[in-house]
Amino acid sequence: MSGKSESLAAGSLILASASPRRRELLASLGVAFHIVTADVVEHEDPSTDSREMVAHNAALKADWVANRHPECWVLGADTTVFLDDHALNKPADLLEARTMLRRLSGRTHTVFTGLAIRHFVKKVRLDRGVSSTVRFKEIDEETITTYLNRVHTLDKAGGYAIQEEGELIIAAQEGSFFNIVGLPIEETKQILTELGLLA
């Protein structure tokens, strides 16, 4: 795996994301890949339809990298939390993370991920969307403080990570667990298998 934009062999798979969670999840499939972080400004207006927002951002990242590596396969992804017709993106600070956790307390929300696969030479453009639901426990201020002390939340949509100290805050989830983490492995595996990148 590499974070540089060096010349890569034709047919290589590139993950257009700096997310350590996506890197770990994609690696779990046993596929070889490089990492090239897209230098783009993501659309994060919380009032935008969340499905459209994650689809737009995933495509934006995949297109930016594919333009620079047109003979490679590029996977872009974007994830957000959706509640009350608004997206809860990555919190700007701990105060906003605390506010998000308060809003999520005792309620069910949706997690959307957009996936974009590109290969410019082969003229391949695949876009998929995956959704899961998560129900929070009723959590008090003490629990929120404990959670924020244990988990770095500022790089996570909704201000939480289901895979970190989830027993403190999560009551139930439906759909792909890995989608909630940041990369729906089941859908990703299916796509890569269809494209011949996985046996």
CATH number at residue 173: 3.90.950.10
Expressed as residue numbers, the domain containing 136 is 13-194
| Choice among 49, 63, 78, 140 that is catalytic | 78
Q: pLDDT tens across 61-120, in order? A: 999 999 999 999 999 999 999 999 899 999 999 999 999 999 999 999 999 999 999 999
Q: Which sign, positive or negative, has the C-alpha torsion 85, 47, 77, 105? A: negative
Name the pTM for this structure: 0.90
Query: Could you identify the residue written with the tokens 């994650």?
Result: 54
Instruction: State yes or no: is 78 an active-site residue.
Output: yes
* Nearest-angstrom CA–CA distance, 181 and 113: 10
As a whole number of angstroms, the distance between CA 25 and CA 185 comes to: 7
Across the chain, what does the average pLDDT equal? 93
Question: Number of folded domains in the chain?
Answer: 1
Indicate whether 3 belongs to any domain: no
Model confidence pLDDT, tens digit, residues 119-176:
999 999 999 999 999 999 999 999 999 999 999 999 999 999 999 999 999 999 999 9
